Structure 1
Amino acid sequence: MAAIQIEFDVPAQMRDGTVLRADVYRPGGTGPWPVLLSRLPYGKQTPLAGIVLDPLAAARRGFMVVIQDTRGRFASEGQWEPWTYEESDGYDTVRWAAALPGASGSVGMIGASYFGNTQWMAALSKPPELKAIAPMVTWSDPDDGLWTRGGAIELGITAPWTLMMGTDALMRRHSTDPAALVGSLGRLVQDLDGLADGGYGELPAGRFPAFARHDLPEVGYERSRREPGWATSCRVAGRHDEVDLPTFQVGGWYDIFAQGTLDNFAAMRSAGRSATLIMGPWSHANQQHVVGDVNFGFAANSAFMGMRGRLHDLQLDWCQRTIGDGEALEPDTGKVLLFVMGINQWREETEWPLSRAVDTHFHLRADGRLTPEPPSIAEQPDEFTYDPMNPVPTTGGALLLSDEFRPGPLDQTAVEAREDVLVFTTEPLTEDVEVTGRVRAVLFTATGGPSTDWVARLCDVDENGVSRNVTDGIVRVRAAKPGEAAEHVVDLWSTSIVFRAGRRIRVQVTSSNFPRWDRNLNTGEPEETATTGRVARQQVFHDPARPSRIVLPVVPPA
């Protein structure tokens, strides 16, 4: 295996004649070798590609590794359009890779985020040589974490991702005009660097001005609204039964696509497929043991995995079992490995969600209390004023924004000191409370405007009174009746954490989390045209007829 052979920019012709190029890594010897394929738009030689799939390590394990630039990116020909061609190009590339000299004819795919989705799209196209996929930190429904969440635009990721992807697009566009290239790149970088300092605030959010200034294809929110049929180009939700392959899925509790990973796993299990799941305490781009303000212990690091070895090696072990002999094997039914925060331990399970978890209600109460008991007498609603021109700033969470905004669990002191953030807290817990599963808030609210947002956030308050976010969510109310109470359910996605004895559970309720999600301007105008905001008076009710609450999946002690 010492004599690994590398070919650069190997051409693969797609069905329409477009040539895509890949780097191919072959182990020493003559083969045949199973193929590990990764298709990404970020440059096949970028360090990011090597972090997700170390081609030399995989070649030493006896895999032929193929890393390809997707259409219209870097060395590949064609027009860059996010998502549009990944299903057809995935099919053609798998068939091409399986026929390369030395290939066994059996292909597996591996990759994260965008190149996690290219795996799902290839699998949905059903090339016969594709035997397994191993997607990391990728979504299921793009309208649940990629384009929107709860109806609000995922502006935080849309803006920097689109602008960063624009560098290669501009280099292609101005390849014969150095002066134009320098100018256009300079303006692009200025917009990218200025996002946190006002750029995110440009309006309208649904037709973001920076994208038009640079004439760039955006991540897909705007196009999906213009062309609803096109939205299927990266949607996995609803199609899992079409994928008859084993899957190895990896996610993080503070990843922007955390729920998508869990939903993909659960759907594959429900379809009767072999599926493996690993969920760490990680964010989208950080699989180490310190995330946000919290050190989860070195066991949480993907290089260690609680003495299980490197995550990358666990993935390669699984690939060896599923495609290693060039045939479609029957792997085990799959495993579930969850990192339980709070106690900072990995735990093996056989299912997700956990059937033993019990939905337990904690009720919002007067004077900022959070109690298992619902209100038995009338309590005055809590009120605040929401001004979209002074939104609650994004402070931690499962997010991927410009670099000024750190993901993960962060100190919420500044957020909770704002007058437009309601805070409800339990008494110190007398025993540990484990919450593992999907969290939701049921809020009875009223607004003074025709449209508004409701944000709920679950927090862990330590013995020193420091509150740190665990998980959150948003729901956009598009047709509110001003001043009229209505019930709204906020999906906070999923988590696994033990709230330790002596600590407290806290819930925040507010109407913004910006720039993670675009601001609701409280006017009811479409996001594609709205540029003027109005102030709204907000009410949150907690009385016997309108018991606002958070629902936590509590796991009973063993």
Structure 2
Amino acid sequence: MLRLFSAAALAVFTLGSVASAQAQTPQNAAQRAADSLFVRQHYTKLDRQITMRDGVKLYTVIYVPRDAAKGNKYPFLMQRTPYSAGPYGENNYPNGGPVRSRELSQEQYIFVNQDVRGRYMSEGQFEEMTPTVPAAHGKPKKGKNPGHDESTDTYDTIEWLLKNIPNNNGRVGMMGISYPGFYASAALPDAHPALKAVSPQAPVTDEFIGDDAHHKGAFFLLDNFEFMNYFDAPRQGPTPKYEPMFSAESKDAYQFFLNLGPIKNADGAQYFNNHAKTWSEYLAHPTYDSYWKERNIRPHLKNVKPATLVVGGWFDAEDLFGALATYKAIEQQSPGAQNRLVMGPWTHGAWSRAEWSTFGPLRFGQNTAQYYRDNLEVKFFNHYLKNKGDFAAAEATVFNTGSNQWQNYAAWPPKGTQPRTLYFQEGGKLAFTPAAAGFDEYLSDPQKPVPYTNGIHAERNNEYMVEDQRFAAQRPDVLVFQTEPLTEDLTVAGPLTADLFVSTTGTDADFVVKLIDVLPDSAAGTAPGATPAPRAGYQQLVRAEPIRGRFRNSFEKPEAFQPGQVAEVKYELPDVLHTFRKGHRLMVQVQSSWFPLVDRNPQQMVTIPTAEAKDFQKATIRLYHDARHASGVQVPQLP
């Protein structure tokens, strides 16, 4: 899950992905040193503890432009984080700027970084994705204590800042990537009147449906196990540092988690040992019950007043869903809001990198991160907080991952798309016409799950979202369907819908559907940036998403499959904007495991967090594609 925390926090991992961390090359290390010197020269650092309405004090680090003492007035730009607002102490300046964007760090703002309650140096009890308490919103109610949430903590912080930090212009902006992106979203309901501009970036949004913890009910084992080792460590009170709970060194994550066995073994003495509060909560709530619903911010994004800039990455392994779902929730529930969406060719938080012109085998022909910061992020905050310049960005600024072009749309998904279904056919064919008869089947073995990536990796391979899928296509437990070479370009823009008619010899099953861009056999050379892999026939993953089959009809009420009976599994995959070029093929792969990214399904209708090794059984999965059971994937095609 790796919800974009500090490099210091990342360093505690022994088995974990460090893909979200800025690589410390000599060049960017020198740049960070220069940025740190700039902050020392131009800002005064203040460490304060701000009291919330219930008496809890939140540790807050404030950087005030030195020339504010001359009477110049500046807006606040705030981040609230569970990953440390440090460094702590007024003489300790950061190694870099006060925010991840170097361009914003060079601007004149009063920067505010705050530890949320229960984390690092703040008092209080931390709650995972703090449930929203609408009755508490707005100004504190005299004589009443209806509670608190992240909206009220943000409100109380802004109120204190306006009254206690001189030479402010009365305006506040807020931003955050990943978990801090959630805190940005959570500030929107009944926002303080001074909060004028908010940018939730890769925001954690709904942890059962599509972010971090689960995707369509399927538990993301690899990321959560790594992340919670550090993040979920118990604390006795305010602390400047967290230590991991255990060491789990391994050169082969696939084999490590296979050896771990059933997921309940992670709570053994060698690992979490029943000391991880959030991990235990996750496993104690294996359905979409009140625990998850209370932590879903989307229903509360109503009557949004601040301007919003929602940012996400097409290759974000953590929170692709969150950016799209947050933007859509604001559009649907706050139709008058100044709400914009940016989706780029980025992994988690890559838009804050100094350079992002390549990713794995892909070459974008431009520094997409620099483009975003110069043309969107800086202009957004400067316009709404300083009345500086114009902000004329389109409703949706979206990067086409097949043509390497930025596209501007008046809405997202774009108006005028036409839903077309790619139907599975006999002989591994894929076409826009339904099949007349047939089915395909495979044996799904929990002891030999399909890997999510090729090769041996000690940590999550962040490039899996664009990886060549030929390693999977050759397995007997992966079904492969592909079109004939395209006679003209085909652009897909918006969410995909998988509609599968299946049966199983078991009583439960996972399904993973992958949409793939297959390069023509005439493509020459090797895929740039990849390990020797012929470019001819390269099967580039465009989008993939799992679903836990028991949730095919309801995330609240799981339902067993009846062995041998046909059942429909229909679900939505996250959006894409991708042009499949003339001469390329569209491919769809279907499988029932994606390990160890997703935990193994026992393929029996048992409670998975308490399942025993004996519960994991082989099952024969059938995928039907006949006149009555027209399985396929619906794609929204741009004319």
TM-score interval for Structure 1 and Structure 2 normalised by the shorter chain: 0.7 to 0.9
Task: Give the match for residue 365 of structure 1.
Answer: 425
Task: Give the match for residue 53 of structure 2.
Answer: 15
How much has 1:155 moved relative to structure 2? 2.2
How much has 1:317 moved relative to structure 2? 1.3
How much has 1:369 moved relative to structure 2? 0.5
Task: Give the match for residue 455 of structure 1.
Answer: 512
Task: Note the 1:223-262 alignment, pairs <5 A.
Answer: 228-232=289-293, 234-255=295-316, 256-262=318-324
Which residue of 573, 582, 594 maps to 1:492? 573
Q: Does 1:524 align with 2:565?
A: no
Contact kept? 2:179, 2:204, Cα under 8 Å = no
Contact kept? 1:425, 1:506, Cα under 8 Å = yes
Which residue of 327, 340, 357 maps to 1:276? 340
Task: Give the match for residue 222 of structure 2.
Answer: 156
Contact kept? 2:208, 2:292, Cα under 8 Å = no
Alpha-carbon RMSD across the aligned residues, in angstroms, is: 3.2
Which residue of 404, 423, 429 maps to 1:344? 404
- Greater mean alpha carbon deviation, residues 99-108 or residues 449-458: 99-108
Task: Give the match for residue 328 of structure 2.
Answer: 266
Task: Give the match for residue 545 of structure 1.
Answer: 628
Contact kept? 2:470, 2:539, Cα under 8 Å = yes
Which residue of 126, 130, 135 maps to 2:191? 126
Task: Give the match for residue 508 of structure 1.
Answer: 589
Task: Give the match for residue 83 of structure 2.
Answer: 42
Contact kept? 1:196, 1:404, Cα under 8 Å = no
Quick one: distance in 2 between partners of 1:259 and 1:174? 32
Quick one: distance in 1 between partners of 2:465 and 2:182? 23
Which residue of 302, 316, 323 maps to 2:369? 302
> Kindly tell me: are residues 480 and 15 of structure 1, through their superposed partners in 2, closer, same or farther at Cα, counting changes over 3 Å?
same
Q: Does 1:136 align with 2:201?
A: yes
How much has 1:215 moved relative to structure 2? 1.1
How much has 1:346 moved relative to structure 2? 0.5
Tell me the secondary structure at the aligned position of residue 248 of structure 2.
helix
CA displacement 1:112-163 (0-9 Å, x = unmatched): 1100000111222532322221011114322222232122112233222211
- Greater mean alpha carbon deviation, residues 105-114 or residues 80-89: 80-89
Task: Give the match for residue 286 of structure 1.
Answer: 350
Contact kept? 2:150, 2:187, Cα under 8 Å = yes
Task: Give the match for residue 480 of structure 1.
Answer: 561
Q: Does 1:321 align with 2:378?
A: no
How much has 1:207 moved relative to structure 2? 8.3
Quick one: distance in 2 between partners of 1:335 and 1:51? 29
Task: Give the match for residue 205 of structure 1.
Answer: 263
How much has 1:231 moved relative to structure 2? 3.3
Quick one: distance in 1 between partners of 2:105 and 2:482? 53
1:262 aligned partner, one-letter code: L
Q: Does 1:471 align with 2:543?
A: yes
Contact kept? 1:133, 1:247, Cα under 8 Å = yes
Tell me the secondary structure at the aligned position of residue 326 of structure 2.
helix
Tell me the secondary structure at the aligned position of residue 537 of structure 2.
coil
1:393 aligned partner, one-letter code: P
> Kindly tell me: are residues 407 and 102 of structure 1, through their superposed partners in 2, closer, same or farther at Cα, counting changes over 3 Å?
farther
1:319 aligned partner, one-letter code: F
> Kindly tell me: are residues 174 and 436 of structure 1, through their superposed partners in 2, closer, same or farther at Cα, counting changes over 3 Å?
closer
Task: Give the match for residue 443 of structure 2.
Answer: 385
Quick one: distance in 1 between partners of 2:360 and 2:595? 18
Tell me the secondary structure at the aligned position of residue 514 of structure 1.
coil
Tell me the secondary structure at the aligned position of residue 120 of structure 1.
helix
Tell me the secondary structure at the aligned position of residue 454 of structure 1.
strand
Task: Give the match for residue 463 of structure 2.
Answer: 406
Quick one: distance in 2 between partners of 1:114 and 1:410? 26
> Kindly tell me: are residues 441 and 233 of structure 1, through their superposed partners in 2, closer, same or farther at Cα, counting changes over 3 Å?
closer
- Greater mean alpha carbon deviation, residues 340-349 or residues 401-410: 401-410
Contact kept? 2:101, 2:373, Cα under 8 Å = no
Tell me the secondary structure at the aligned position of residue 528 of structure 1.
helix
- Greater mean alpha carbon deviation, residues 215-224 or residues 69-78: 215-224
1:236 aligned partner, one-letter code: I
Quick one: distance in 2 between partners of 1:412 and 1:485? 28
Quick one: distance in 2 between partners of 1:289 and 1:159? 31
Contact kept? 2:477, 2:591, Cα under 8 Å = yes
Q: Does 1:86 align with 2:150?
A: yes
Contact kept? 1:283, 1:408, Cα under 8 Å = no
1:119 aligned partner, one-letter code: A
1:413 aligned partner, one-letter code: R
Tell me the secondary structure at the aligned position of residue 273 of structure 2.
helix
1:286 aligned partner, one-letter code: A
How much has 1:175 moved relative to structure 2? 10
Quick one: distance in 1 between partners of 2:94 and 2:264? 30
Tell me the secondary structure at the aligned position of residue 547 of structure 1.
coil
> Kindly tell me: are residues 193 and 160 of structure 1, through their superposed partners in 2, closer, same or farther at Cα, counting changes over 3 Å?
farther
> Kindly tell me: are residues 6 and 155 of structure 1, through their superposed partners in 2, closer, same or farther at Cα, counting changes over 3 Å?
farther
2:369 aligned partner, one-letter code: S
- Greater mean alpha carbon deviation, residues 523-532 or residues 330-339: 330-339
Task: Give the match for residue 178 of structure 2.
Answer: 113
CA displacement 1:362-408 (0-9 Å, x = unmatched): 110111111112113x22x1110001121111129xxxx94445343
What fraction of aligned residue pairs are identical, expressed as a percent?
28
How much has 1:449 moved relative to structure 2? 0.6
Tell me the secondary structure at the aligned position of residue 573 of structure 2.
strand
Tell me the secondary structure at the aligned position of residue 221 of structure 1.
helix
TM-score of the pair, normalised by structure 1 = 0.87
> Kindly tell me: are residues 469 and 27 of structure 1, through their superposed partners in 2, closer, same or farther at Cα, counting changes over 3 Å?
same
Q: Point out where structure 1 has 5 or more consecutive residues left out of the alignment.
A: none
1:476 aligned partner, one-letter code: R
Contact kept? 1:137, 1:252, Cα under 8 Å = yes
CA displacement 1:32-54 (0-9 Å, x = unmatched): 21111001111224899968934
Contact kept? 2:500, 2:568, Cα under 8 Å = yes
> Kindly tell me: are residues 483 and 236 of structure 1, through their superposed partners in 2, closer, same or farther at Cα, counting changes over 3 Å?
same
How much has 1:520 moved relative to structure 2? 1.1
